[in-house]
Amino acid sequence: MFKNIILGIFLLVSTFFVAQNTAMSGAEAKAFVTKVSSETKEIKTLQADFIQTKKMDFLDKSIITSGKMSLKSPNTLSWKYTKPYQYSIIFKENKIFINDQGKKSSVDAKSKTFEKINKLIVGSSNGKMFSDPEFAVAYFKNGTSNIAKFTPKSAQLLKYIKQIELHFPKNQTTVSQVNMTEASGDTTNIVFKNTKINAPIPASEFSL
């Protein structure tokens, strides 16, 4: 559950390695961060469909799932898998609500661990994620995308995540694809489509 929650956080702001990546210069990285941080401040709501591909060492075939993500600023998030199974995570009112194929539960988000999660939620929706002290960030580019690679600094997060990459298409400040490498070596790739910014979201999207 914790890995799913952490992953959901990085889906609040909406490419993968298909070309050679090169490190940004200091000036390029600064300009990129400034642009993303400035434009994401204007995001009040964000919606996107997604397709997730998970590769695990002990399975011959990848696990492919799909669903929908919805965000309402500053920190209300709905992350719902719909195919081939139903699993939902909702962040709101300092709680995390979970619906695992009909089995519902909740977690108090005021614990020390979830305080960090809430901080990441806010940072992801307003562009401050790049200065979060919990992560070291490196910036890269290729012919189609700008890439921010986040590496956890704390031993607690490193138990679950080795690295998360956010890929931004050139001239775009919302993420179109996310790649996560877990501590075990398993990988998760998520592609977003049909992204909508500042469109109305019905209240039902944030309930189980």
pLDDT (tens place) for every residue of the chain, 208 residues total: 555 555 555 554 433 334 578 999 999 999 999 998 888 888 888 899 999 999 998 888 999 999 998 888 877 888 899 999 999 988 887 788 889 988 999 887 655 445 555 555 455 555 667 888 888 999 999 989 999 998 988 888 888 888 888 888 888 888 888 888 888 889 989 898 998 999 999 999 998 8
Residue 14, pLDDT score: 37
Cα 89 to Cα 98: distance, rounded to the nearest angstrom: 5
Per the domain annotation, does 4 fall within a domain?
no
**Residue 96 forms part of a structural domain:** yes
Residue 134 belongs to some domain of the structure: yes
- 3-state secondary structure at position 27: helix
Per-residue confidence (pLDDT) for residue 8, from 0 to 100: 57
Is the omega angle on the peptide bond into residue 74 within 30 degrees of 0, that is, cis? yes
Domain count, the chain: 1
* Residue 29 domain flag: yes
Residue 9 lies in a domain: no
Angle at 153 between CA 8 and CA 59, to 5 degrees: 50
In this predicted structure, what is the pLDDT of residue 63? Answer: 92
Upstream peptide bond of 84 is cis (omega within 30 degrees of 0): yes
- pLDDT score, position 93: 79
Does 205 reside within a domain?
no
- Supply the CATH number for residue 110's domain: 2.50.20.10
* CA-wise closest residue to 205 among 45, 74, 78: 78
Q: Which residues contact residue 107 at a Cβ distance below 8 angstroms, ignoring those fewer than 6 apart?
A: 95, 96, 98, 114
Nearest to 6 by CA among 184, 192, 181, 206: 181
Three-state DSSP class for 105?
strand
Global pTM reads 0.78
Domain holding 116, by residue range, is: 22-199
Tell me whether residue 16 is in a domain. no
